Amino acid sequence: MTGPDETLAALAALHAVDDDERLEVGVIEPGLLRTAAGLAEIAAEPPPPGLAAAVLRDAVRARPPGRPPGGVGPCTPAEAFARTVAELEALLDSLTAADWTASVHGTDHAVRDVVVHLVGAERVATHWLLASGDDVAPSDHPALTAAAVADLDDASVDAVATAWRRAADDFAAAAGAADPELAVPYYGRRLRPAAMLVSRTFELWAHMIDITTATGRDLPRLDPNRMALLSGGLMQALATLDDATAQAPVRFVLTGDGGGVHDVAGRAPDGTGATIVGDVVDICRAAARRLAPDRLTVHVDGDPELAERFLRVLGSFALD
Task: Tell me how far, at minimum, the Cβ of 168 lies from another protein, in Å.
Answer: 32
Q: How far is CA 10 from CA 7, 22, 41, 54, in A?
A: 5, 12, 13, 30
- 21 contacts another protein (rule: CB under 8 A): yes
In the complex, the smallest distance separating the C-beta of residue 75 from another protein, rounded to whole angstroms, is: 19
Q: Which of 190, 87, 57, 63 is nearest to 129 (CA)?
A: 190
Tell me if 292 contacts another protein by CB under 8 A: no
Residue 253 interacting with another protein (CB under 8 A): yes
Query: 199 or 231: whose CB is closer to another protein?
Result: 231
Closer CB to another protein, residue 21 or residue 153?
Answer: 21
Residue 307 interacts with another protein (CB under 8 A)?
yes
Amino acid at 318: A
Point out which span in 58-66, 115-123, 132-140, 155-163 binds another protein (CB under 8 A). 58-66
Single out the residue of 1, 24, 26, 42 in contact with another protein (rule: CB under 8 A): 42
Minimum distance of another protein from residue 205's CB (angstroms): 21
Residue type, 234: L
Q: Which is nearer to another protein, 120 or 273 (CB)?
A: 273
Residue from 110, 241, 296, 318 binding another protein (CB under 8 A): 296
Query: Over the range 57-78, which residues count as b (16 or more CB within 10 Å of their CB) and which as e?
Result: eeeeeeeeeeebeeebebbebe
* Minimum CB–partner distance for residue 243 and another protein (Å): 18
CB burial class (10 A; 0-12, 13-18, 19+) of residue 163?
buried
Q: Residue 5, interface with another protein (CB under 8 A)?
A: yes
CA end-to-end span of the chain: 54
Phi and psi at residue 276, to the nearest 5°: -110, 120
Among 103, 236, 240, 297, binds another protein (CB under 8 A): 297
State how far the Cα of 285 lies from the Cα of 154, in Å rounded to an integer. Answer: 32
What sign does the dihedral 257-122-287-66 (CA atoms) show?
Answer: positive
**Does residue 238 interact with another protein by CB under 8 A?**
no
User: Would you call 263 exposed, middle or buried from its count of C-beta atoms within 10 A (0-12, 13-18, 19+)?
Assistant: middle
Which residues does 124 contact at the CB level (< 8 Å), separation at least 6?
144, 145, 148
Cβ of residue 271: shortest distance to another protein, in angstroms?
A: 8
Q: With binding defined as CB under 8 A, does residue 47 bind another protein? A: yes
**31 is a site residue for another protein (CB under 8 A):** yes
Query: CB-based burial of residue 32 (10 Å sphere; 0-12 exposed, 13-18 middle, 19+ buried)?
Result: middle
Q: What is the 3-state secondary structure (H, E, C) of 39-90?
A: HHHCCCCCCCCCHHHHHHHHHHHHCCCCCCCCCCCCCCHHHHHHHHHHHHHH
Considering only residues 66-95, where is the footprint of another protein by CB under 8 A? 66-69, 71
Q: Is 255 in the site for another protein (CB under 8 A)?
A: yes
Told to check if 298 binds another protein by CB under 8 A, we report yes
Q: Does residue 35 touch another protein according to CB under 8 A?
A: yes
Chain contacts with another protein (rule: CB under 8 A): 4-9, 11-17, 19-21, 29, 31-32, 34-48, 51-52, 54-56, 58-60, 62-69, 71, 251, 253-255, 259-261, 275, 277, 296-301, 304, 307-308, 311
